[in-house]
């Protein structure tokens, strides 16, 4: 990539710029007298911007465009030119007229922000047929609101406009954005109180800025056309409407029905009417439970929005339309039209794998029915099997089957069974079942909550070779607990928060997720009360199997910084801590943390980092020893779109895992005061292919600081300190973003 960049950077960027014209090399916005003015937002109003840049200077797409041959008289050159122009980006030719329009747009936006006397000028630097253009803004003193008057004769409207939630405050800076938000607030409040015919356009503001004191007197009033409405229209505007009947039109479009089609009809005791053609694919109670519209209730905008959200969330529904028809003086009939989506899906996947010199094959099959009991219940059944040939002559076999049932009420039941035959000379089976509930995110809310009310895991090790038992289990107490039969009964909560707004996808946003999990507490209380037997380690037994007891917590914070729509800077911090107690001295293997991998510190393969300064001896058990009870991940990644389907990234990762206690089999793994010296660092680059339905990702990571080499003084991995392709560099292939 570096060589390619150097080659492309050497290309003539003005190759396809016509004579007498200039390439717009830079287009900047600068406010010379008020640092509080966000020039980043103002830049979005420019009618002409420079070519897309990577790292703020590298016009990669322009360079790709310029690789096209100038002579296109031959078929080969035509093909090369067509491909280069398709993949690249044409040069932005400076346009004086667009510059004038941009200046006008900037003045208007500054005026909207309260800078009524703002001046906009330009500064141009021309060199080598390129022009650097800077828009210079002199903001001057902004205007503030001196008096705010509510001039609305309708009592209901006036009462809402004057309440404590008003967004306009005297003494604050004038902003048309705030005025628009206040109009939206008043309109929403009125429509939620039954004023069905009230619209945002009915409200206007008048601002008097002739006070010669950088202050304005602001007045809200009805638009002129409202005062000219006749008596019947005014009456309708003042009326609070209620719902008379709800008509559910299921799986058909009345406007496209032939005359010969007979509609089937039904009703319920709540006054709702149902009509459909063919076979009704949703039960009446499923529709009623998803809807927030009820006969006899007053009309409310939030109920309509919630109905849209809940019905669109039903798996078998393709789309929903909600319409209203007035009947009488203050009543509305509601028509909810529902279109059926695809109910069944079946998928088969076959893949080849290559990991650490070992080849393998895997195959999976999945079936999904999105309406198994005609109440929007989703049934999923899947299976997967894999076989891997090991270079040492061993083999790894794994087979998994699982099934899940998700109800429309967001209650989920799942069962799974996993069989593992490992070349480390043991066989293990894992069976689990769970019951969970998700509270979906409501309109306007930023939180989602998920509860695993009960999660049962049974781990059974039916066979283990004598060599494995003697060499690893009897000598390594940390592994003994992980490779004995054990039982887990846990409860967990996961909460996620986001400030992402679909209406403004190019705004920066943050995501926060927290997870809390605990296991064994109820069983321990019952074991104590019933005096259940104990094994040699002092653990209480349930059906002759020790049960796990622990507490585990995880926190993840991600910030998506949007520099431009094509350039994002994303930061992530993840922290996890798990503590075994009372009936357990070690966490179950499947509940412990591992370091490295496509979503962690990408200079390491998955499960090859840590704990602490621990360094494996090269035997086959390193995989099982490189686990811990504490995890830290810190990542920063710069992402930039090259073309619509291709994105490049540069990243820096840091983190490690640690044990919470000192274990003989994991020397150097315990968390201590010097943990910061044991943080692993790596850097690298990545390519993402946007395939519409998912993103395929390839990351290349290089170790920078390897804590496992601290003892030998080679922890900083550089060319002069042993940096090598085999030990310090790795590729990761994954689906989706790492965070």
- Report pLDDT digits (tens) over 598-649: 999 999 988 889 899 998 654 445 667 889 999 999 999 999 887 778 899 9
- Asked if residue 688 is part of any domain, the answer here is yes
- Asked if residue 126 is part of any domain, the answer here is yes
Write out the two tokens for 731.
């590729």
For 661, phi then psi, to 5°, come to -130, 165
Query: In this structure, are 42 and 151 located in the same domain?
Result: no
Q: Could you tell me which residues come within 8 angstroms of residue 259 by beta carbon, excluding any fewer than 6 positions away? A: none
Write out the two tokens for 532.
């259940």
Averaged pLDDT score across all residues of the chain: 88
Q: How confident is the model at residue 378 (pLDDT cuts 50, 70, 90)?
A: very high
- pLDDT tens readout for residues 83-117: 888 878 899 999 999 999 999 999 999 999 999 99
Instruction: Report the phi/psi class of residue 147: left, alpha or beta, with left for phi > 0 and alpha for psi in -120 to 50.
Output: beta
Count of C-beta atoms within a 10 Å radius of residue 701: 26
**Over pLDDT 70: what percentage of the chain?**
93
700 DSSP β-pair partners: 685, 731
Query: In this structure, are 33 and 120 located in the same domain?
Result: yes
543-548 average pLDDT score: 86
Given 109, 138, 167, which residue is the final one in a domain?
Answer: 138
Question: Does the pLDDT value for residue 690 go beyond 80?
Answer: yes
For 87, phi then psi, to 5°, come to -80, -30
Q: How far is Cα of residue 279 from the mean position of the Cα atoms in its chain?
A: 37
Query: In this structure, are 600 and 732 located in the same domain?
Result: yes
Question: Does the pLDDT value for residue 174 go beyond 50?
Answer: yes
CA–CA dist 388, 395 (Å, integer): 6
Residue of higher predicted confidence among 73 and 113: 113
Query: In this structure, are 699 and 663 located in the same domain?
Result: yes
- pLDDT tens readout for residues 448-463: 999 999 999 898 888 8
Confidence (pLDDT) at 619:
46
- pLDDT tens readout for residues 275-328: 877 677 888 888 888 999 999 999 999 999 999 988 998 999 988 999 999 998
Query: In this structure, are 606 and 664 located in the same domain?
Result: yes
Question: Positive or negative CA dihedral for 62, 64, 70, 72?
Answer: negative
Residue of higher predicted confidence among 165 and 277: 165
Q: How confident is the model at residue 693 (pLDDT cuts 50, 70, 90)?
A: confident
Residue of higher predicted confidence among 257 and 563: 563
197-213 average pLDDT score: 91
Given 273, 306, 340, which residue is the final one in a domain?
Answer: 340
251-270 average pLDDT score: 70
Choose among 470, 424, 427: nearest CA to 622. 424
218 DSSP β-pair partners: 148, 207
Count of C-beta atoms within a 10 Å radius of residue 321: 13
Write out the two tokens for 273.
């009417």
Query: In this structure, are 186 and 248 located in the same domain?
Result: no
Confidence (pLDDT) at 217:
95
> Helix-strand-coil percent breakdown of the chain, rounded to 5?
20, 40, 40
CA–CA dist 655, 649 (Å, integer): 19
- Asked if residue 293 is part of any domain, the answer here is yes
574-592 average pLDDT score: 91
Query: In this structure, are 225 and 257 located in the same domain?
Result: no
Where do the H-state alpha helices sit in 537-635?
A: 622-625
Query: In this structure, are 122 and 211 located in the same domain?
Result: no
- pLDDT tens readout for residues 10-65: 457 888 899 999 999 999 999 999 888 988 889 889 999 998 887 677 787 888 88
Residue whose tokens read 């029905």: 257
Which CATH number covers residue 165?
A: 3.10.20.310
Question: Does the pLDDT value for residue 657 go beyond 60?
Answer: yes
User: Which CA distances in Å does 234 have to 159, 227, 332?
Assistant: 18, 9, 17
- Asked if residue 58 is part of any domain, the answer here is yes
Question: Does the pLDDT value for residue 697 go beyond 60?
Answer: yes
Q: Could you tell me which residues come within 8 angstroms of residue 325 by beta carbon, excluding any fewer than 6 positions away? A: 332, 333, 335
Q: How confident is the model at residue 492 (pLDDT cuts 50, 70, 90)?
A: very high
Q: How many domains does the chain have?
A: 4
Confidence (pLDDT) at 620:
47
Choose among 272, 303, 304, 305: nearest CA to 287. 272
Where do the H-state alpha helices sit in 223-376?
A: 224-227, 231-238, 284-290, 301-312
Q: Are 317 and 337 in contact (CB under 8 A)?
A: no
Domain of 274 in residue numbering reads as: 242-340
Query: In this structure, are 120 and 212 located in the same domain?
Result: no
- pLDDT tens readout for residues 520-539: 999 999 999 988 888 887 88
Q: Are 41 and 31 in contact (CB under 8 A)?
A: no
Given 138, 172, 188, which residue is the final one in a domain?
Answer: 138
4-11 average pLDDT score: 50
Question: Does the pLDDT value for residue 134 go beyond 60?
Answer: yes
Confidence (pLDDT) at 2:
47
Query: In this structure, are 7 and 125 located in the same domain?
Result: yes
494-515 average pLDDT score: 90
- Asked if residue 291 is part of any domain, the answer here is yes
User: Which CA distances in Å does 473 have to 251, 463, 580?
Assistant: 61, 13, 19
- Asked if residue 457 is part of any domain, the answer here is no
Sheet of 23-31: strand order equals: 23-31, 130-138, 119-127
Query: In this structure, are 708 and 608 located in the same domain?
Result: yes
Buried b (16+ CB within 10 A) or exposed e, 467-492: ebeeebbeebebbbbbbbebbbbbeb
Which CATH number covers residue 689?
A: 2.40.160.50
CA–CA dist 30, 46 (Å, integer): 13
Q: How far is Cα of residue 612 from the mean position of the Cα atoms in its chain?
A: 31
Question: In the 3-class helix/strand/coil scheme, how is 634-684 assigned residue by residue?
Answer: EEEEEEEEEECCEEEEEEEEEEEEEECCCCCCCCCCECCCCHHHHCEEEEE
- Enter the DSSP assignment of 199: -
The model carries a pTM of 0.72
Query: In this structure, are 98 and 148 located in the same domain?
Result: no
Confidence (pLDDT) at 40:
80
Instruction: Identify whether 611 is preceded by a cis peptide bond (ω within 30 of 0).
Output: yes
- Asked if residue 649 is part of any domain, the answer here is yes
- Asked if residue 676 is part of any domain, the answer here is yes
* Biggest CA-to-CA distance, the chain: 95
Confidence (pLDDT) at 576:
97
How many H-runs (helices) and E-runs (strands) does the chain carry? 16, 29
């Amino acid at each position: 990539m570096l060589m390619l960049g150097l080659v492309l950077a050497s290309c003539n960027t003005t190759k396809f710029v016509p004579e007498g014209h200039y390439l717009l090399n830079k287009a900047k916005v600068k406010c010379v007298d008020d640092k509080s003015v966000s020039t980043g937002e103002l830049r979005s109003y420019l009618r002409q911007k420079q070519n897309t840049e990577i790292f703020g200077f590298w016009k990669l797409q322009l360079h790709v465009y310029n690789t096209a041959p100038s002579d296109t008289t031959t078929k080969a050159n035509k093909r090369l030119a067509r491909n280069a122009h398709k993949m690249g980006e044409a040069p932005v030719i400076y346009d004086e007229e667009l510059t004038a329009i941009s200046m006008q747009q900037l003045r208007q936006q500054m005026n909207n922000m309260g800078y009524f006397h703002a001046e906009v000028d330009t500064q141009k630097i021309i060199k080598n047929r390129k022009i650097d253009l800077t828009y210079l803004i002199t903001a001057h003193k902004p205007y503030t609101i001196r008096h705010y008057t509510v001039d609305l004769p309708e009592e209901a409207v006036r009462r809402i406009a004057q309440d404590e939630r008003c967004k306009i405050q005297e003494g604050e800076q004038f902003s048309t954005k705030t005025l628009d938000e206040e109009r939206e607030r008043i309109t929403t409040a009125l429509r939620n109180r039954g004023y069905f015919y009230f619209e945002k356009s009915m409200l206007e503001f008048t601002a008097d800025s002739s006070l010669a004191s950088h202050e304005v007197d602001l007045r809200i009033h009805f638009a002129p056309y409202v005062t000219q409405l006749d008596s019947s229209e005014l009456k309708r505007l003042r009326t609070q409407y209620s719902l008379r009947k709800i008509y559910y039109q299921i799986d058909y479009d009345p406007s496209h029905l032939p005359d010969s089609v007979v509609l089937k009809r039904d009703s319920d005791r709540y006054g709702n009417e149902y009509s459909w053609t063919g076979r009704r694919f949703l039960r009446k109670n499923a529709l009623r439970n998803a809807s927030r519209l009820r006969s006899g209730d007053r009309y409310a905008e939030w109920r309509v929005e919630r109905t849209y959200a809940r019905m669109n969330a039903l798996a078998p529904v393709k789309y929903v339309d909600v319409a209203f028809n007035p009947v009488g003086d203050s009543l509305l009939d509601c028509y909810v039209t529902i279109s059926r989506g695809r109910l069944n899906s079946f998928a088969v996947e076959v893949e080849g794998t290559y990991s650490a010199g070992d080849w393998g094959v895997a195959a999976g099959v999945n079936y999904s029915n999105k309406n198994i009991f005609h109440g929007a219940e989703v049934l999923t059944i899947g299976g997967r099997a894999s076989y891997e040939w090991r270079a040492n002559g061993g083999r790894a076999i794994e087979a998994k089957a699982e099934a899940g049932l998700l109800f429309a009420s967001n209650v989920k039941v799942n069962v799974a069974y996993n069989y593992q035959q490992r070349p480390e000379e043991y066989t293990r089976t894992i069976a689990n079942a769970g019951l969970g509930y998700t509270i979906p995110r409501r309109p306007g809310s930023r939180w989602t909550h998920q509860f695993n009310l009960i999660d049962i895991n049974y781990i059974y090790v039916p066979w283990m070779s004598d060599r494995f038992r003697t060499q690893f289990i009897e000598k390594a107490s940390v592994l003994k607990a992980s490779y004995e039969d054990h039982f887990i009964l846990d409860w967990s909560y996961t909460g996620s928060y986001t400030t992402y707004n679909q209406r403004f996808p190019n705004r920066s946003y943050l995501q926060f997720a927290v997870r809390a999990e605990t296991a064994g507490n109820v069983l321990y209380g019952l074991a104590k009360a019933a005096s259940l037997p104990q094994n040699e380690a002092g653990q209480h037994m349930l059906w002759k199997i020790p049960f796990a007891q622990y507490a585990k917590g995880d926190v993840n914070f991600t910030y998506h910084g949007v520099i431009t729509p094509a350039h994002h800077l994303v930061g992530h911090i993840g922290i996890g801590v798990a503590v075994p107690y009372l009936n357990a001295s070690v966490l179950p293997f499947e509940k412990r943390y591992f370091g490295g991998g496509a979503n962690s510190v990408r200079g390491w393969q998955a499960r090859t980092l840590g704990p602490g300064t621990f360094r494996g001896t090269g035997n086959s058990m390193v995989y099982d020893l490189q686990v811990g009870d504490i995890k830290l991940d810190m990542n920063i990644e710069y992402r930039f779109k090259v073309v619509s389907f291709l994105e490049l990234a540069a990243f820096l990762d840091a983190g490690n895992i640690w044990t919470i206690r000192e274990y003989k089999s994991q020397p150097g793994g315990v968390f201590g005061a010097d943990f910061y010296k044991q943080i692993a660092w790596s850097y690298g680059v990545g390519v993402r292919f946007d395939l519409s339905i998912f993103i395929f990702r390839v990351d290349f990571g290089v170790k920078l600081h390897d804590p496992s080499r601290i003892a030998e003084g080679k922890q900083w991995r550089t060319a002069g300190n042993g940096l090598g392709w085999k030990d310090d560099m790795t590729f990761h292939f994954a689906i989706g973003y790492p965070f």
